[in-house]
Structure 1
Amino acid sequence: MDYSLSILVAALALISLGLSRPARSVNAFFRGQSENAEPPGLLTLTFSQVTTWIFARSLMNAAILGFFYGIWGTLAYAAYYLSFWIGGRIIDKLRFEQGFDSVQAFLQNRFGNWGTRCYNLVIGIRLISEVFANLLVIGILFGTTGSNAYTLAIIAFSGITLAYSLLGGLHASLRTDLFQMMLFLLVLVVLVFVAFGAPDVNLDMLLFKPFELDQPGPILLLVALLQVWSYPMHDPVMMDRGFLADRETTRRSFFHAGWISIACITAFGSLGVLAGAQASAGEAMNTVLARILGEIPLLLFNAALVISAMSTLDSTLSSSAKLVALDMKAVPTTVQNGRLVMVVFMLLGLCCVFLGNKDLFSAVAVSGTASMYLAPVVLISLWGGRTDVPLWSYLASFVLAISGAVLYFTESSGYSALLGDVHKYTKLLWISATLLTSGLLLFWLGCLSAGTPKFKQAEQVG
């Protein structure tokens, strides 16, 4: 199996390298423009949105949550993909109505330098976690944690993806995303037909776990519905793709990316649900899937994870380069410096893999919890148009959200038990609800202290 998967990875790498074109300009490397300075079209932008958000980690999480908590666990994870529709509205308001060319420019306008510093810290952590989590999935596919096969797979895969990312930057990422997404859809359709066509499988198995509000699946669904208001703004890969094309193309790409992603995540996660319905006590998900699917379809299952990891990693590296060179202006905006930033972020991700926590969902939950300080920014400052929210409200919301993320990490990892002996997702729900309520309250109090309301008038742009 590993030998076949290795051949597949090598073939994907060669095709991706062949599709990549050397970026000769800053706009090609950082903004994804073609050699003729043309932005991406609707299909390319939509498929790039989808494949960069259907990470290997996401697919694995959706399947694992389905395996343990039934269809409700998978649907909870799929609910995070409502972020596309909220993110599309964020981009439309921020870019096309108010005329800002980046999220950082908006935050600088509203909250000054501290507005961008807090944001850049959160998304920097987000980008490193994406590198870490996708490399971790690759290692798990090839061997047990710490084994030679595990280590070699991670190092080889990181080198392959880094190579073509360095070559073409965001332009290369968009070109390879289109190919990788089409291949992923083909693999997913085959997997679903094979799984649901198996003799011992029926649709009733999807409901082997009943819907009970006090169970982890439904609780996690509530968490997603709380975090989804801020989640898209803290994801630089999604936000970056909102600044590439014209208004109509951008709107349609976010809309279509939303329903396609939800359908893909639900379909892939249902494979984990089927495995959970037929698992014996103590049996691992991969063991059950091998029994249900057979060797070749299981290879396709692993192939889907490899494809999604590759497509996410190149986009993450592109966004990392844009963050440091273009948005933060920490280094001169040159293609060479962009490539150096990519190398640094890949090395940081590798450090997290070999030295950090191995819980895949922790990266989602921690970054999603930290992002919740942006919920009042979206709801009050952006959509509400309030320009008079004081800096102290923003900073207090930020500190609370970071504290909440740290608290969840320590609680879920067993380092503390301040919230009692309940399931970690129940703790996450309590933390998320508290952060959302507290953030909105802080912004409301800040607006009250500011006196006469000040609103941003919409400016139709582009």
Structure 2
Amino acid sequence: MNAAILGYYYGLWGTLAYATYYLSFLTGGLIIDSLRFRHNCNSIQDFLRQRFGTVGTRCYNLVIGVRLISEVFANLLVFGLLFGAVGSQQYIGAIALFSLLTLFYAGRGGLHASLRTDVFQMGLFLAVLLTLVALMLGHSEFSTTDFLFKPFEFSDPGAVLIAVALLQVISYPMHDPVMMDRGFIADRQTTQRSFLHASWIGVFCIILFGLLGIFAGAHAQSGEAMNTVLTRLLGEVPMLLFSFSLVISAMSTLDSTLSSAAKLIVSDMKLGVESVDNGRKVMVLFMLAGLIMIYLGPKDLFSAVAVSGTASMYLTPVILFSLWGGRIDIPVWSYLIAFVVALAGAGLYFAETAGYLQLMEPLFGTVHKYNKLLIICLIVLTVGCSAFALGMLLSRRKLASVTYSTGDA
């Protein structure tokens, strides 16, 4: 849905920007491989505990919680937008129905059921997607020039979003428990191949689905919504397939999200006795939190990706310096600075897009939300990496001073 909407408004560049996020499977595979087979850790929490103590795990678990709630919010929003205008009875009813349905079957089977249904849901989604693309390519009004109805300019929102995605793609997978949890299941070779193939399959499907939005954008009349244009171009039955494919995708992601939420709270954080019933209670709480965000947060689907992706950027220096760089001399205060700045950046973007705050325009003279997001990401990344570099430098000097003093003695 994100890919289609971005394609509708910003053309091919908007769709490519969202597809760029799916390169996270490549960086995610490298992260998993390093965690398991270089540092011999059974989870990300294990690694952060070794490097930064309980502060490391608590900060990480908070960001993961934000990520999971935003994922619940985004997928519930898809259900609502497919069946009615924001705030309508159809919108509210669709969200309520699908939240209960997904909660029911996710609560019965957990991660095991999620993995099993993923295969079935992916097969259905791919069949429907290929059918829709075939209908688009065979349409009398279709032309390959439709894909370039928006010219590429570096100031274009789609181009700006590509830059944002490239900045976030290193840290993004590490804060995505749905992806990371699957990295600790199979042997090394199977895991490596899974993440590699997931990357190109993900990018391929996202671009294909985004082409539908681009097709609609190229033939849109003033004031028309994307679904209205597609219904006019493709007809009612294909649009039912369009909605069906999105429902499948959203349910597939939502059940995995709820399973990961239960694992995070009950197994990783040990908040309560590790039991199936407690896992189900956690699923209910996260579903309620997602519903609250539906009514308090922005109605922009990409906001969920942007907010959690910005918060995740505190992990970029962790990955570069500690995980891949192997540094063990990074002080906890460096980690905390990166964390606080990233969370502040995520909060600022959320407040700006939800209309609660207007700071970026007077400070930086920029109006578009993606320009604001790029500036926030650059600041977060610069401050975080600088804090790690400074911490490493001071640790070296301290060690050199202690060594020199010992030598004198």
TM-score in terms of structure 2 length: 0.94
Aligned amino acid, residue 343 of structure 1:
V
Name which of 408, 412, 432 aligns with 2:377.
432
Match of 1:100 in 2: 41
Q: 1:345 aligns with which of 278, 286, 292?
A: 286
- 2:406 corresponding residue in structure 1: none
Q: CA deviation at 1:453?
A: 11
State how far apart, in whole Å, the 1-side matches of 2:338 and 2:140 are.
Answer: 53
- Deviation at residue 137 of structure 1 after TM alignment: 1.1
Of 75, 79, 82, 2:20 maps to: 79
- Counterpart code for 1:85: L
Q: Please identify runs of 4+ aligned residues in structure 1 that moved more than 4 A.
A: none
> Is residue 216 of structure 2 the alignment partner of residue 271 of structure 1?
no
1:110 maps to: 51
TM-superposed CA distance for 1:232, in Å, is 0.6
Whether 1:185 aligns to 2:135 is no
Amino acid of the residue matched to residue 158 of structure 2? G
1:361 to 298, 302, 305: 302
- Equivalent AA in structure 2 for residue 425 of structure 1: Y
Q: Is the 8 A contact 2:230 2:239 kept in 1?
A: yes
Counterpart Cα distance in 2 of 1:225 and 1:178 = 29
**1:299 and 2:240 are equivalent in the alignment:** yes
Pair 1:442-2:383 in alignment: no
Structure 1 residue 148, shift from structure 2 partner: 2.0
Q: Is the 1:447–1:453 contact (alpha carbons within 8 Å) kept by the matching residues of 2?
A: no
Q: Does 1:204 align with 2:149?
A: no
2:180 to 239, 249, 252: 239
Matched, 1:419 2:364: no
CA 1:386 to 1:453, structure 2 compared with 1: closer, same or farther past 3 Å?
A: farther
Instruction: State the AA in 2 paired with 1:447.
Output: M
* Separation of aligned partners in 2, 1:444 and 1:275: 47
1:143 correspondence with 2:84: yes
In the TM superposition, what is the alpha-carbon distance from 1:208 to its structure 2 partner? 0.7
Mind listing any 5+ residue stretches in structure 1 that lack a counterpart?
1-59, 455-462
CA distance, structure 2, for counterparts of residue 177 and residue 453 of structure 1: 51
Is the 2:20–2:166 contact (alpha carbons within 8 Å) kept by the matching residues of 1?
yes
Q: What is the DSSP-based 3-state SS (H/G/I as helix, E as strand, rest coil) of the residue aligned with 1:70? A: helix
Aligned partner letter, 1:91: I
How many Å apart are 1:152 and its aligned residue?
1.8
C-alpha separation in 2, matches of 1:223 and 1:245: 32
TM-score (norm 1): 0.84
Distance 1:415-1:343 versus aligned 2 partners, 3 A rule: closer
Deviations 1:24-75 (A, max 9, x none): xxxxxxxxxxxxxxxxxxxxxxxxxxxxxxxxxxxx1111110111000000
Larger fraction in helix: 2
How many residues are matched? 395
SS class of match (2:33): helix
* Identical-pair percentage: 64
Q: Which residue of 1 aligns with 2:74?
A: 133
Q: Compared with structure 1, are the counterparts of its residues 106 and 208 closer, same or farther at alpha carbon in structure 2 (3 Å cutoff)?
A: same
The correspondence of residues 281-430 of structure 1 with structure 2, limited to 5 A, is 281-420=222-361, 421-430=366-375
Distance (whole Å) between structure 1 residues aligned to residue 207 and residue 348 of structure 2 = 30
List runs of 5+ in structure 2 lacking aligned partners: 400-409
Say yes or no: does 1:216 pair with 2:161. Answer: no
SS in 1 for 2:223: coil
Amino acid paired to 1:424: K
* 1:261 aligned onto 2:206: no
Cα offset, 1:339, TM superposition: 1.5
User: How far apart are residue 414 of structure 1 and its match?
Assistant: 3.3
